[in-house]
């Protein structure tokens, strides 16, 4: 008797759902509506097959003229590894009203220690990645290079060393660069030995309590005082957070600065 009652109850539920499905189209999932997605691909990095990934917002099928954001994400040699940087960049974009963007990175997190001596090697990975994305997902309105820790040194170095003929990125977001990269950047700026024929660049630079405040402040002052005509610049010191928990807010505020109104 109990089994029979349970069967009748389930049957009634199925019939009710079927009735509502047929009567109210709003209850049906709209299978024609595009959805955001992550796609994976292989590109050539100087002849070496390399795997990448791209987040595609749901609006991309109808509007391909949107920014592309490139996250440089290697293993961090001196701090706990963050495995959610890609997701934090996507979350930062989603906080921007009226802004959609592609988010691009390598598929995994390579075991690489980003140091100034290896800058060209690391930069060219992302230059080749951008070339592939431009061909497969064209019409990007701008490109943003974003990173934290040692990788943010690659971001900053790219901003200075690119010129108008070789430029890949317009916007740069860097938080908590390593001491080695900060020292190299200070030397580069003081020597002035980098291309000046560029325009329309934006930089958001930040650092946390884990970093060397004197070095970071010196770097900020050098950039500020240089008054580069090609650069819009904003800096921030996060006094209530450290290296391991600053990047989500630094990414979000950086994206607001370079892509927001």
Structurally, the chain folds into a number of domains equal to 1
> Does 29 map to a domain?
no
Residue 94 structural domain = 34-259
> Does 17 map to a domain?
no
Write down the pLDDT at residue 14: 44
For residues 159 and 222, what is the distance between their CA atoms, to the nearest angstrom? 15
Mean pLDDT of 121-130: 96
Find out whether 87 and 128 touch, Cβ atoms under 8 Å.
no
* CATH code assigned at 91: 3.40.50.1820
pLDDT confidence bin for 16, thresholds 50/70/90: very low
> Does 4 map to a domain?
no
pTM score, whole prediction:
0.86
DSSP structure string for 85-149? HHHHHHHHHHTSTT---EEEEESS-------GGGHHHHHHHHHHHHHHHHHHS---S-EEEEEET
Residue 11: φ, ψ to 5°:
-65, -40
> Does 215 map to a domain?
yes
pLDDT confidence bin for 7, thresholds 50/70/90: very low
Hey, what are 2's tokens? 């109990």
> Does 10 map to a domain?
no
> Does 3 map to a domain?
no
């Amino acid at each position: 008797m109990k089994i029979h009652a349970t069967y009748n109850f389930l049957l009634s539920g199925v019939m009710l759902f079927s009735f509502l499905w047929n009567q109210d189209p709003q209850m049906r999932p709209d299978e024609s509506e595009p959805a955001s997605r992550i796609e994976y691909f292989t590109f050539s990095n100087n002849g070496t097959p390399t795997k990448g990934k791209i987040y595609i917002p749901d609006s991309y099928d109808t509007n391909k003229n949107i920014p592309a954001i490139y996250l440089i994400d290697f293993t961090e040699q001196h701090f706990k590894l963050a495995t959610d940087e890609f997701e934090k960049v996507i979350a930062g974009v989603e906080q921007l009203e009226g802004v959609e963007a592609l988010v691009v990175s390598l598929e995994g997190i390579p075991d690489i220690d980003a140091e100034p001596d290896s800058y060209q090697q690391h930069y060219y990975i992302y230059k080749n990645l951008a070339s592939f994305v431009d061909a497969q997902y064209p019409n990007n309105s701008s490109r943003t290079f974003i990173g934290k820790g040692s990788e943010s040194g690659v971001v900053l170095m790219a901003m200075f060393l690119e010129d108008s003929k070789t430029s890949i990125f317009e916007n740069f977001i860097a938080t908590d660069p390593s001491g080695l990269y900060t020292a190299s950047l200070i030397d580069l700026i003081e020597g002035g030995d980098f291309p000046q024929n560029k325009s329309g660049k934006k930089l958001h630079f930040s650092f946390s309590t884990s970093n060397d405040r004197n070095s970071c402040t010196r770097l900020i002052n050098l950039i500020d005082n240089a008054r580069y005509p090609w650069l819009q610049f904003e800096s921030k010191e996060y006094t209530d957070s450290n290296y391991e928990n600053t990047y989500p807010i630094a990414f979000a505020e950086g994206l607001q600065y370079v892509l927001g109104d």
